[in-house]
Chains A and B, each alone.
Chain A
Amino acid sequence: MAEYWNINPQYETAVKHFLANKPEAEVTLEFEIGVRDFVNSGKGSAEVKNVLKRLGIDPTILRRIAVASYEAEINVTAHSNGGHMTSCVYDDLVYIRFVDKGPGISDIEQAMVPGWSTADDLVREMGFGAGLGLPNIKKNSDVMHITSEYGDSTALEIMIFYA
């Protein structure tokens, strides 16, 4: 089992506290992500975005959440055998977890390198697969955590604080 962590040092204590307690979310959204379903891909993150707009989240933070969740959703669509997205909204942060049905990432460190991609022709035809997905998620999130086993599933967790 390979693992990757990136935590914004500013939030280290808050993140530890959160992960230790796993508090119940105020609002939870569930979304199924289909295999190569580019027609519907992006709807899960759009739903999260609309909820956060209703909560009056700062527009700059909102765009970071939008980008990170959109990229992650597209990743599941483009690279996996389908998966599930769970978005947990709190009054100070949003936590989004993506779990797919494989095939797993063989080398996470390599996958984090901007420009590196395993995307097939179909994905590239759709305008994706530039190898910027994971680096973009890292750039826009406060916490990024990947656990993956090659030949098995991948889980990606992201957290973004509102302030």
Chain B
Amino acid sequence: MTPPEKEYYHAIQIVSDNCVGCTSCVKVCPTEAIRVRNGKAEIDTNRCVDCGNCVTICSFHAILPKSDSLEIINDFQYKVAILSSSYAGQFTEDIPYATTKQALLELGFDEVAEEAMVTDFMTNLVRDYIRKHRDYRPILSSNCPAVVRLIQVKYPSLLPNILHQEAPMSILTRYLREKIQTEKGLKDKEIGIFVIVPCVAHVTAVHQPEGAYKHLQDGAFSIGMIYGKIRERLRKMNGDQKPIDTYEQGLTWALAGVEAEMVDCDDIRALSVNGIDNVKEILSKVEDHYLDQYDYIVLRSCTNGCVGGCLNVENPFVAMSRIKKLIKNSKHKVINTSELKELYKDGEFAVVPLEPRSIMELDHDIKQAIQKMKKLNEILVMLPGLNCSACGSPSCYALAEDIVYNKASIDDCVVLLKRHQKEED
């Protein structure tokens, strides 16, 4: 692997004391970023895209999600929470959405905004972007941070196809930051804007945003962590409801498929894909120009979209059903987006051209890379080809690669070891 040019932040931590070396995480990692060495899992920070598969699969509490603790809001004079849309699907239907929003406010925020507020605006932005970038087909959605990182790591030729505009929660952040500064007469650093997120990729995106020109959020709280506090708060509130505005209509953002349906129109054909294995298959087909008939592809790493994120408490299908009900029963609300449109026109939501994270290449120098590949192939034919992961590498190919990099030895292969033992007997 080529030496890392920068340290990548990840919202995933390994608690080595809890790790039993079972290799479950090794097998589910879409970028082969995890190895078990000396009985403990290790993550290659250059390869990890923060999809959260390992967090979900680990049954030993050895791979834990990282997010900020709620106390950090006290460092700011004016505190704003932005709700990711999947939050609405976490609560049973006897609790009104407005009440859960009020409870969040009572946790110490001055203002609670919703990703859902900018959904209509986003749909128009995406359509406009697609029409203005005819040279690239298909345009690939950029709102799932795990997908953006997956493209940087494994499909660098598709980077120009990514929609180079901020995701909805960041667009809302940019807008609110400016608005609050003007309306409340506060300085930028006095305002704390936080997102309540469904997955580790969004936590990472807050701490190390890709392509951001400006200061965005000040922290990311896990829906799972907030959920516990909200339940507690709801008990204390005891049905004491205050009138609170909600934007159910825009909750579509949390659901895979719906964004694509919204963007799809006479001159734009959109496709929706969810689940990281499906995303990988589709991206490979896009590389082959097999999907050029689509103008836009919505790609989400998690099952059913953001409702499938590993920081949610509810099952993705139940959450999706609840959100659909909320949308169905919602009343049409007109949201004034003229200021957002102005910001978009001024290019305020554009992002820096995304750079590849080329972990795929064996060496910067092609001659060296070829030599390494030859060595790799020589080792590969000696290995049993069972891809059992017992050595701690995800496949025989990955073990061969690790041996080439002197990160493993052929003696790590348990199957070969057993065969040798039999021969000796």
Contact = CB atoms under 8 A, between A and B. Distances in A.
Interface of A: 26-27, 42, 45-46, 49, 51, 53-57, 59-60, 62-63, 66-67, 70, 89, 91, 136, 162
B360 interface: yes
A56 B370 contact: no
A67 B288 contact: yes
A60 B157 contact: yes
Contact of A59 (B356, B363, B370, B373): B356
9 contacts: A26-B374, A51-B373, A53-B154, A56-B366, A62-B287, A67-B288, A70-B288, A136-B289, A162-B366
A54 B362 contact: yes
B356 A56 contact: no
Contacts of B288: 42, 45, 49, 66-67, 70
Interface in B361-408: 361-364, 366-367, 369-370, 373-374, 377
Contacts of B287: 49, 62-63, 66
B366 A27 contact: no
B284 A55 contact: no
Interface string B54-93: 0000000000000000000000000000000000000000
Contacts of A63: 157, 287, 289
A26 B370 contact: yes
A27 B360 CA distance: 17
A91 B362 CA distance: 13
Contacts of A45: 288
B374 to A, nearest CB: 7
Nearest to B397: A50
Contacts of A70: 288-290
Given A27-B377, A60-B157, A55 B289 contact: no
Nearest to B376: A54
Interface in B330-385: 356, 358, 360-364, 366-367, 369-370, 373-374, 377
A45 B284 CA distance: 11
B157 A55 contact: no
Given A26-B370, A63-B289, A56 B361 contact: yes
A82 B5 CA distance: 46
Nearest to A54: B362
Nearest to B290: A70
Contacts of A59: 156-157, 159, 356
Nearest to A92: B366
Nearest to A26: B370
B119 to A, nearest CB: 32
Given A63-B289, A66-B287, A67-B289, A55 B156 contact: no
Contacts of A66: 287-289
Contacts of B284: 46, 49
Interface centre among B287, B364, B367 (most CB of A within 10 A): B287
Given A27-B370, A49-B287, A63-B287, 5 more contacts: A49-B288, A53-B154, A54-B361, A54-B369, A56-B362
Contacts of B361: 53-56
B385 to A, nearest CB: 15
A51 B156 CA distance: 15
A100 to B, nearest CB: 20
A139 to B, nearest CB: 10
A146 B367 CA distance: 30
Contacts of A27: 370, 373-374, 377
B222 to A, nearest CB: 34
Interface string B155-168: 01101000000000
Contacts of B373: 26-27, 51, 54-55
Contacts of A51: 373
Which of A56, A60, A63, A66 has most chain B Cβ within 10 Å?
Answer: A56
A56 B159 CA distance: 16
A54 B360 contact: yes
Given A62-B157, A67-B288, A55 B356 contact: no
Nearest to B287: A66
B350 to A, nearest CB: 22
Given A63-B157, A67-B288, A55 B362 contact: yes
A32 to B, nearest CB: 17
In the A-B complex, the 9 residue pairs with the closest CB atoms: A59-B157, A56-B361, A70-B288, A53-B360, A55-B369, A26-B370, A67-B289, A63-B157, A66-B288
B298 to A, nearest CB: 21
Contacts of B363: 56
Contacts of A162: 366
Contacts of B367: 91
Contacts of A62: 157, 287
Contacts of B358: 56
Given A54-B362, A56-B362, A56-B364, A91 B156 contact: no
A6 B289 CA distance: 22
Interface in B282-302: 284, 287-290
Contact of B366 (A53, A55, A67): A55
A3 B204 CA distance: 56
Nearest to A27: B373
